[in-house]
Structure 1
Amino acid sequence: MLPYSFLPSMAAEKLRNAADKIKALLHDYDAIHVRRGDKIKTRKDRFGVVRSLHPHLDRDTRPEFILRRIQKWVLPGRTLFIASNERTPGFFSPLSVRYKLAYSSNFSHILDPVIENNYQLFMIERLVMMGATTFIRTFKENDTSLSLTDDPKKNTKAWQIPVYTLDGEGS
């Protein structure tokens, strides 16, 4: 697996330039990558019990949990760049009680002329996240990385009952 530091050299110049423009506008900011949609997938086992490969992910990537998790890493009032595959409009709005929120969609004047597909958007978002003062991933990738959930990133094939409540018990 290539290190994150290798990523800028892999991106096309037009993507690197777009990311640089966004980073300049954000100035001093923090970033979170919130992987939801595809990773929250559930299925029923043969007994009809709903199970997930990432049992805490839905809970851990909701705004109220994000606020609690990142408060020790990101000071109130900071600009927080959010990259996510969450499709619900306004989903992360509750974070605005503590942070100034920024999304790639805020920079459509920069992105629209250069983005041709979601992979290019993802690359620009990765470059922007790498430029953040504090970068918080969805999944913990190593002992020093900051993450929204402690669920393993790798597919363990162990389908578990999802956890949705604040106290850690199943719903």
Structure 2
Amino acid sequence: MQIRLMLGDYDAIHVRRGDILKTRKDRFGIERSKHPHVDRDTRPEFILRRIAKWVPRGRTLFIASNERTPGFFAPLGIRYKLAYSSNYSEILDPVVENNYQLFMIERLVMMGAKTFINTFKTEDSELSLTNDKKKNFKWEIPVYTMEDEQGRRLSGYDL
């Protein structure tokens, strides 16, 4: 695949945000989420902490995400050379007709990475940005701080 060749030696992360950040209010008016840590864990400052032990500084990091805010991941550029599918629009635009096709191509690119980090862990051996379960049926209060349930400050390696 031409994009993988152009990237050379690279690492990749899949950051699922847009559709997974949904919240709802319970009967007491308190916001709840099925993935209480994902909003926090997929923000650049938390991603930097989480992946530091897996991806060395200076590496090329391919980011596949459904985040809609332009420049959202730019802060990762202090440690990594960032690459997105949009960097390869001259290759992709003629063949990609919808987001499903784009995601399939991004999956192929991510499969070629030296280190791949997914949003959610589906196998014990996989690396992930969050410890939240992908399939969760309980609505919980979202967590945005660096503390655990007992109020203890977490290090990046605890996230």
**Aligned structure 1 segments of 4 or more residues deviating by more than 4 angstroms:** none
**For structure 1, which runs of at least 5 residues remain unmatched after alignment?**
1-19
Counterpart code for 2:37: H
User: What is the aligned counterpart of 2:61 among 69, 72, 80?
Assistant: 80
TM-score by length of structure 1 reads 0.86
Percent identical: 76
Question: Deviations along 1:63-110, whole A, 9 cap, x unmatched?
Answer: 000000000000000000000000001000000000000000000000
Deviation for aligned residue 1:157: 1.6
Counterpart code for 2:129: L
Output the CA distance in 2 between the equivalents of 1:23 and 1:142.
25
1:42-61 equivalences under 5 Å are 42-61=23-42
Counterpart code for 2:21: I
Match of 1:93 in 2: 74
Counterpart code for 2:146: L
Output the CA distance in 2 between the equivalents of 1:157 and 1:130.
29
Match of 2:139 in 1: 159
SS of structure 1 residue aligned to 2:118: strand
**For structure 2, which runs of at least 5 residues remain unmatched after alignment?**
152-159
Output the CA distance in 2 between the equivalents of 1:85 and 1:162.
20
Structure 1 vs Structure 2 CA RMSD: 1.1
Match of 1:129 in 2: 110
SS of structure 2 residue aligned to 1:72: coil
TM-score by length of structure 2 reads 0.92
